Amino acid sequence: MDARLRCHVIARRFALLLAALCAMAPAASQDDDVEALPERLSATGLYVDGSTTQVRPDVWRFTPQYPLWSDGADKQRWIRLPAGGVIDASDPDAWRFPPGTRLWKEFSHGGQRIETRVIALQRNGAWRYATYVWNADGSDAILAPAGGLAAWPVGVAPQGRYDVPARADCTSCHEGAAQPVLGFSALQLSSDRDAGAAHAQPRRADDIDLAGLIARGVLRNAPTAWTTRPPRIAAASPTERAALGYLHANCGHCHNRSGNGVPLRLTLAQSALDPETSRHDTLASAVAVEGRYRAPALAGRHLIEPRAPAASVLDARMRSRQPQLQMPPLGTHLVDDAGLALVERWIHHLSPSEEKQP
């Protein structure tokens, strides 16, 4: 098959897929408190009319300092607050957003946009999740079915396949945390950025950050100390700070003390309000603590075995991609070598008494 014919076949298959997506998109809800999901990303309020590249002026770009691993995908993120809306930071670790808030996250590989995820806070106080799949020419993205798309063939993606998440996958991660908005928080937006963070993207000139939110008056009731001492993760070393930040971003949305996550003692979420206590909680719940999960592939029994990454359950589960064993359980087919190496360096330098330190 020559190159032109092959391109034609690929384009035809893509067109058929998009037609199927449109047919599978859910009908608009009749509930007045639930906004209908537009069939196209261009209608969600991210871009100016007639464009899918120029972002609206009332939409802010942001870059969290501890990104989530997604098999090496490049990402862009944006947020828009409703006119006159403000964020309530009375709980510094669980901001409350005004109804009408929308966030977008774009995933791409090799410069090709693949999907854009949207979460929106409705008038009834519930968050709504949607994913839009980009068409072949990049002119727009189509609403994906609620059940997602498993192993969707995408040539530029790792292993030539890509999983578009089901909405149930979105809720399982986002709603396990104290606040469903995961990457837009005090720790993630702090101007005291961690130079050792794995896969860190530099802050862009047009990014909104914690200081910018406070200066614009759209973040209310935040601790006054944040204006002079931006929040940061408490740690005994730069390596520990980066490792705890990585675990916070990749694991903390399920392993936390909010009451919404998994029913385990293991705590990997870090606090902007009380960083020393959250560090202690992580160490006390993981270091030399016996794990509940048993599998032949696990060489050790402690979640973290001080100075022995290879004997640590945490390390083994990060390293595995067996469906019953891997952690995180969703959103990745490839082991994050850089993140794993960072966590292993941290474990290698932990002392056996570390978990007892206040």
Query: What range defines the domain where residue 306 resides?
Result: 233-356
Asked whether 120 and 101 are in contact (CB, 8 A), the reply is yes
Query: 135 and 12: one domain?
Result: yes
What pLDDT score does 3 carry? 40
For all residues of the chain together, what is the average pLDDT? Answer: 90
What pLDDT score does 354 carry? 64
Phi-psi region of 100 (alpha: psi -120 to 50; beta: other; left: phi over 0): left
Asked whether 242 and 198 are in contact (CB, 8 A), the reply is yes
What pLDDT score does 13 carry? 44
Q: What is the mean pLDDT of residues 208-219?
A: 98
Query: 13 and 132: one domain?
Result: yes
What is the domain count for the chain? 2
Q: Tens digits of per-residue pLDDT, 282-309?
A: 999 999 999 988 888 788 899 999 999 9
Q: Tens digits of per-residue pLDDT, 85-135?
A: 999 999 999 999 999 999 999 999 999 999 999 999 999 999 999 999 999
What pLDDT score does 5 carry? 34
Asked whether 11 and 136 are in contact (CB, 8 A), the reply is yes
318 pLDDT exceeds 50?
yes
What pLDDT score does 296 carry? 81
29 pLDDT exceeds 80?
no
CB hemisphere CA count around 238 (13 angstroms): 7
What pLDDT score does 352 carry? 80
Out of 122, 137, 165, pick the residue that ends a domain: 165
Out of 141, 165, 189, pick the residue that ends a domain: 165
Query: 114 and 240: one domain?
Result: no
23 pLDDT exceeds 60?
no
Q: Tens digits of per-residue pLDDT, 240-290?
A: 999 999 999 999 999 999 888 888 899 999 999 999 999 999 999 999 999
Query: 237 and 153: one domain?
Result: no
| Three state DSSP letters for 1-50 | CCHHHHHHHHHHHHHHHHHHHHHHCCCCCCCCCCCCCCCEHHHCCCECCC
132 within domain boundaries: yes
